[in-house]
Amino acid sequence: MTRTAPPPLVVIASAIAERRKRWRRAIEGVFTIHEVTDRNGLERSLVHRQPGVLLLDLAFPNLGGVDGITAVQRHRPATKIVLFTKAPDDREGLMALKAGARGYCHAEIDPGLLRKATDVVHKGEIWVGRKLIPHLLEELTSATERRRRETAGATLDSRLDQLTARERQIVALLSQGANNREMSRQLSVTERTVKAHLTAIFRKLGVSDRLQLALFVIEQGGGLARKGG
């Protein structure tokens, strides 16, 4: 008899009981859930339970704000962190992503969106508000400008040559902030096909997620557009 794998483990970290209750209701039945209310409990759960995703309240005791994300992540680098705040701010969101978070949300996010955000992050993608994406790309552009100028064009082109025309279309749409469903609709293919293309793109370009892919696109300095025709 084949055993069904247990649902992925998600740790909910908040000292606010009502907030934990709301988040739990949003994802229960889809994920296995463990709640923590203090820093010691959080660190123990990361080390011993090894969750796939951590839903982390920015107001969590002794977190130290966005700067505390890096320290938390050291206990379990493979755990993907989604940060929640009562007052989302683009600058803070950028700081959270640069610190290692994979998602940035309003603490009062709609339950359906919270469930979707948790699932998306668990699968290795990024979850942020659409208006934050241009700021993120701008930040990446500024941070990598020197590296782009110093990178040999021939090396970059050789990697781009590995992409098919459809894969270049996928990369171009992703760099504009399109999600899998939007890419599926624009290219008239299934979301499963989009995911397959993304897997192939990540492998060919030597990146592991969408943020690294966005960084790669920026480093091309227009090379992708030239290759794509």
Q: What is the pLDDT of residues 214-225, one digit of tens each?
A: 767 766 554 454
- pLDDT of 124 higher than 60: yes
Which residues of the chain form beta strands (DSSP E)? 9-13, 32-36, 53-57, 80-85, 103-106
Q: What is the mean pLDDT of the chain?
A: 82
Give 153-190 pLDDT, tens digit per residue: 444 446 677 889 899 888 888 877 778 888 999 999 99
Give 32-59 pLDDT, tens digit per residue: 999 999 999 999 999 999 999 999 999 9
Domains within the chain, CATH numbers bracketed: 9-129 (3.40.50.2300), 133-228 (3.40.50.2300)
Tokens of 206: 């030597």
Decide: helix, strand or coil at residue 55. strand
The per-residue pLDDT for 86 is: 93
Contact by Cβ (8 Å): 209, 174: no
Where are the alpha helices (H) located in 45-177, listed in sequence order? 69-74, 90-99, 111-122, 132-150, 153-160, 165-175
Question: Could you tell me what percentage of the chain is helix, strand and coil, using 3-state DSSP and rounding each to the nearest 5?
Answer: 55, 10, 30
Other residues' Cβ atoms within 10 Å of the Cβ of residue 105: 23
H/E run at residue 218:
helix 210-219
The phi, psi pair for 41, rounded to 5°, reads -65, -35
**pLDDT interval class at 152 (50, 70, 90):** very low
